[in-house]
Amino acid sequence: MSNSYEGKLALLSITAFVAVATFLHLIASNYYCTVGFAPPDLRRPSSDGCDYSRGKWVFDDVSRPLYREEECGFLTAQVTCCKNGRKDSLYQKWRWQPTNCSLPKFDARILLEKLKGKRVLFVGDSLMRNQWESMVCLLNSGASPVDRKMWKLGVPFSIFSIQEYNVSVEFYWAPFLVDSNSDDPRNHTISERIIKPDSISGRAELWIPADVLVFNTYIWWMNHPTIKVVSSDGGWNSTEEVDRTVAFEKVITTWADWMRRNVDRAATSSFFVGLSPIHHKGAYWNKTGGGGGCGGETLPIAADSDGAVEMGTDRGLLEIVKKVIKGSGIQVTVVDITAMSEHRKDGHTSVYTVRQGKLLTPEQQADTASFADCLHWCLPGVPDVWNEILYSYIVKP
């Protein structure tokens, strides 16, 4: 055997060893929900006008996650997947890379300085609460422990405040934005949902004044193609069945009219966050053997393009939002999270969550077909990216 051949063989062996060692390190470092913080992220900030909704997920175990689950004591048990028994942490380590630019690095101190003396209010359903909890944890890393406080009030409010900056970050439960029979923040498990599409002022007066307003409404519309609507001249017992899209447009019009009359566009930055998808049908990504949709999923849906993947999301509702905003003349930025989130079948709380305030039992966790929550998201996780986009709009010059 020649020396040249032996040299090539040795080099090949070393290369193979390094590749295997790297793979094993990746698996070992991500199997358990114990992760470390990252060195500074030197990615180029985005330019104005970037379409953040199009891009791809990039595995990044250097700059992700942006905070530790165990070090943010403000998270609810619904989203603390590692604490609830999830063993892998790969879902925490994906960074969203827009196609033609990059998101600016989230810096809690910069955002807190920008928000000093201000009130930030998230209004919407449990996905908006998911995003609010994410923002609380992101800001939590930039404040000293003695300055951080959380209040949960009797009204549909939860308030996180940082005294050093005199800033409050609040959540208000309003799944339909308008009045409904589902407005109790704790007891809203109602099979027959009813809305008052013309009635918003009673609750909305609590939303102002605010310096940043963030809204959503979507998932509560998806139970049925129609919804019960209170007749304009009747009470809760006088209802009619209305097509979902018709009722939705009426609600968004009511919301937009209220925004136009009550929100000072020069003093308030307003956002509408798009549609968070549900991964309850594994057939959408060719999953075999059932398993409750997102149950057992540990990787995003691979895609050859930066576009959306079909997940049954009713995109027409977001088009209604855009149309009404444009027609009403209000200044609201739509944060389109749908396509990016549709790839993340791995990021849901699945069976690592609570129901009716109780952690799922081992038997329930084993039955993913019956108990997997493929709607809400683990934290750290996907909603952190939604807030990175929000951050880019708030801190830009």
User: Any catalytic annotation for residue 51?
Assistant: no
User: Any catalytic annotation for residue 376?
Assistant: yes
Question: Tell me, what's the pLDDT at 252?
Answer: 99
Q: Strand runs (DSSP E) across the chain, as ranges?
A: 55-59, 94-98, 119-124, 148-152, 157-162, 167-173, 179-180, 194-196, 212-215, 226-230, 239-243, 269-273, 333-335, 348-350, 354-355, 358-359, 373-377
* Alpha helix (H) residue ranges in 213-346: 244-262, 315-328, 338-342
Helix (H, G, I), strand (E, B) or coil at 195: strand
Q: What angle do CA 156, 160, 166 make, to 5 degrees?
A: 125
Measure the CA–CA gap between 195 and 136, rounded to whole angstroms. 30
Residue 185's Cβ-side half-sphere holds a number of Cα atoms within 13 Å equal to 15
Question: Tell me, what's the pLDDT at 365?
Answer: 95
Catalytic residue among 182, 279, 376, 384: 376
Q: Considering just the CA atoms, what is the radius of gyration of the chain in Å?
A: 23
Measure the CA–CA gap between 39 and 62, rounded to whole angstroms. 7
Measure the CA–CA gap between 248 and 254, rounded to whole angstroms. 10
Kindly state the tokens that stand for 100: 């033609």
Question: Tell me, what's the pLDDT at 307?
Answer: 63
* Alpha helix (H) residue ranges in the chain: 3-31, 108-114, 126-140, 201-204, 244-262, 315-328, 338-342, 362-366, 368-371, 382-395
**List of the chain residues with pLDDT < 70:** 1-48, 146-147, 152-155, 289-292, 304-308, 397
Question: Tell me, what's the pLDDT at 8?
Answer: 39
Catalytic residue among 179, 336, 346, 373: 373
Catalytic residue among 126, 158, 168, 350: 126
Residue at 65: amino acid letter: P
Question: Tell me, what's the pLDDT at 37?
Answer: 34
Question: Tell me, what's the pLDDT at 298?
Answer: 96
Question: Tell me, what's the pLDDT at 260?
Answer: 97
Question: Tell me, what's the pLDDT at 283?
Answer: 83
Contact 325, 334 (CB under 8 A): yes
* Alpha helix (H) residue ranges in 49-125: 108-114
* Alpha helix (H) residue ranges in 32-158: 108-114, 126-140
Kindly state the tokens that stand for 17: 């060893």
Distances (CA, A) of 197 to 125, 172, 189: 16, 18, 20
Measure the CA–CA gap between 4 and 20, rounded to whole angstroms. 24
According to DSSP, the residues that pair with 149 across neighbouring strands are 161
Among candidate residues 74, 134, 120, the one with its CA nearest the CA of residue 383: 134
Question: Tell me, what's the pLDDT at 33?
Answer: 65
pLDDT, tens digit (0-9, with 9 covering 90-100), for 4-53: 434 433 433 434 433 433 333 444 444 446 443 333 333 333 446 789 99
Measure the CA–CA gap between 256 and 163, rounded to whole angstroms. 33
Measure the CA–CA gap between 98 and 105, rounded to whole angstroms. 13
pLDDT, tens digit (0-9, with 9 covering 90-100), for 325-379: 999 999 999 999 999 999 999 999 999 999 988 999 999 999 999 999 999 999 9
Contact 360, 372 (CB under 8 A): no
Measure the CA–CA gap between 145 and 133, rounded to whole angstroms. 17
Question: Tell me, what's the pLDDT at 154?
Answer: 56
Measure the CA–CA gap between 162 and 147, rounded to whole angstroms. 5
Measure the CA–CA gap between 223 and 238, rounded to whole angstroms. 21
What pTM, to 2 d.p., does this model score?
A: 0.87
Helix (H, G, I), strand (E, B) or coil at 162: strand
Strand-pair category, 167-173 with 119-124: parallel
User: Any catalytic annotation for residue 384?
Assistant: no
Measure the CA–CA gap between 228 and 253, rounded to whole angstroms. 18
Question: Tell me, what's the pLDDT at 11?
Answer: 38
Question: Tell me, what's the pLDDT at 218?
Answer: 98
Kindly state the tokens that stand for 392: 């880019």
Q: DSSP class of residue 389?
A: H
Residue 10 CB partners (closer than 8 Å, separation 6+): none
Measure the CA–CA gap between 141 and 68, rounded to whole angstroms. 9
